[in-house]
Amino acid sequence: MKVLAMEFQKIKRKGIFTTVAVLLGVQCLWGLYSFGNMNGEKLAQGWYQCLYHFPILNAIMMPIIIAVLASRLCDVEQKGQTFKLLETIIPAETLFHAKYLCGVIQVVAITVFQVLMILSFGVIKGFGGPIPWDKILFYLISTIGVHVTILLLQQVLSLHFSNQMVPLTLGLLGSLAGLFSMFLPKGIGKLLIWGYYGVMMRVGLNWDESTRISDFYYVPIDWLGVFLLVGMFLAIYIYGSRSFARKEW
150 binds another protein (CB under 8 A): no
28 binds another protein (CB under 8 A): no
123 binds another protein (CB under 8 A): no
21 binds another protein (CB under 8 A): no
Query: CB 61 → another protein: shortest distance, Å?
Result: 7
How many other β-carbons are positioned within 10 Å of the β-carbon of residue 17? 13
Q: Name the residue nearer to another protein (CB basis): 49 or 71.
A: 71
Query: CB 155 → another protein: shortest distance, Å?
Result: 13
113 binds another protein (CB under 8 A): no
Q: In which region does residue 204 sit, left (phi positive, over 0), alpha (psi from -120 to 50) or beta (all else)?
A: beta
- CA–CA gap between residue 196 and residue 179 (Å, rounded): 10
- CA–CA gap between residue 86 and residue 99 (Å, rounded): 13
β strands within 39-172, DSSP E? none
Residue 12 φ/ψ, nearest 5 degrees:
-60, 135
223 binds another protein (CB under 8 A): no
176 binds another protein (CB under 8 A): yes
Over its C-alpha atoms, the chain yields an Rg (Å, rounded) of 19
Nearby residues of 24 by Cβ (< 8 Å), 6 or more positions away: 110, 113, 114, 117
Q: How many helices (H) and strands (E) are present in the chain, helices listed first?
A: 11, 2
- CA–CA gap between residue 152 and residue 84 (Å, rounded): 21
Q: Which of residues 59-88 bind another protein (CB under 8 A)?
A: 60-61, 64-65, 67-68, 71-72, 75, 79
Q: Name the residue nearer to another protein (CB basis): 10 or 136.
A: 10
Query: CB 29 → another protein: shortest distance, Å?
Result: 7
Nearby residues of 162 by Cβ (< 8 Å), 6 or more positions away: 78
> Using the rule CB under 8 A, which residue among 165, 206, 220, 223 binds another protein?
165
Q: Name the residue nearer to another protein (CB basis): 75 or 135.
A: 75
Query: CB 146 → another protein: shortest distance, Å?
Result: 18
Which value, to the nearest 10 degrees, does the dihedral of the CA atoms of residues 185, 189, 191, 192 take?
150
Q: Name the residue nearer to another protein (CB basis): 25 or 126.
A: 25
In sequence order, the β-bridge partners of residue 205 are 216
12 binds another protein (CB under 8 A): no
Residues that bind another protein (CB under 8 A): 14-15, 19, 22-23, 26, 29-30, 33, 60-61, 64-65, 67-68, 71-72, 75, 79, 163-166, 168-169, 172-173, 175-177, 179-181, 183-184, 209
